[in-house]
Chain A
Amino acid sequence: MIDKKVSESSPADPGSLVMASWFNDETTIKEIYMENYPAAKKYILLNRGTQEQAEDIYQEAFIAMWRNIRLNRFESRNENSLKSYLLQIVKNKWIDHLRSAQYRNTVLLNESDVEYNIELPSPEEQEKILLIKEHFKNLGDTCREVLQRFYYSKESLKTIANVFDWTEATARNNKYRCIERLRKSLQQNQYLGDR
Chain B
Amino acid sequence: MEIDNQIPQEQFEEIERFLQGRMSAEEEAHFSQTLSANSDLRKQVEEIRLILLGIEESVLEEKLHEYHHHIPAASVRPLYRSGWLAAAAVIGVLIVGAWWFLQSAPANKRLFTEYFHPEPGLATSMGSVDNYAFERAMVDYKTGDFNAALKAWNQLQDGNPANDTLDYFIGSAYLALKKGDSAIIHFRKVIANDQSVFRDDANWYLGLSLLLNNKMAEAVPYIEQSSHNEKESLLSKIKQ
Contact = CB atoms under 8 A, between A and B. Distances in A.
Interface of A: 2-7, 24, 26, 29-30, 33-34, 37-38, 41-42, 45-48, 50-52, 55, 59, 62-63, 66-67, 70-71, 103-110, 125, 128-129, 131-133, 136-137, 147-148, 151-152, 172-173, 176, 179-180, 182-184, 186-187, 190
Nearest to A178: B55
B145 interface: no
Contact of B78 (A45, A48, A107): A45
Given A5-B28, A42-B79, A176-B12, A148 B55 contact: yes
Contact of B56 (A107, A152, A184): A152
Contacts of B165: 104-105
Contact of A132 (B19, B50, B81, B124): B50
Contact of B55 (A147, A173, A187): A147
Contact of B197 (A51, A103, A173, A184): A103
A103 B140 CA distance: 24
Interface SS of chain A: helix, strand, loop or mixed?
helix
Contacts of A172: 13
A135 to B, nearest CB: 9
B68 A63 contact: no
Interface stretch (B3-11, B96-104, B147-155, B176-184): B3-11
A160 B226 CA distance: 46
Interface string B110-139: 000000000011111101100100010000
B59 A152 contact: yes
Contacts of B200: 50
A26 B165 CA distance: 43
A89 B56 CA distance: 20
Given A62-B64, A132-B54, A106 B59 contact: no
Contact of B57 (A2, A41, A67, A182): A67
Contact of A51 (B47, B51, B135, B229): B229
Interface of B: 1, 3-4, 6-7, 9, 12-13, 18-19, 21, 28, 32, 35, 47, 49-61, 63-65, 67-68, 70-71, 75-76, 78-79, 81, 120-125, 127-128, 131, 135, 163-165, 197, 200-201, 227-229
Contacts of A46: 78, 81, 120-123
Contact of A34 (B12, B71, B81): B71
Most buried by A among B12, B59, B120: B59
10 contacts: A2-B35, A6-B21, A41-B78, A46-B121, A59-B65, A105-B197, A136-B55, A137-B58, A152-B55, A183-B1
Given A3-B19, A50-B227, A55-B68, A110 B75 contact: no
Contacts of A184: 6
B16 to A, nearest CB: 8
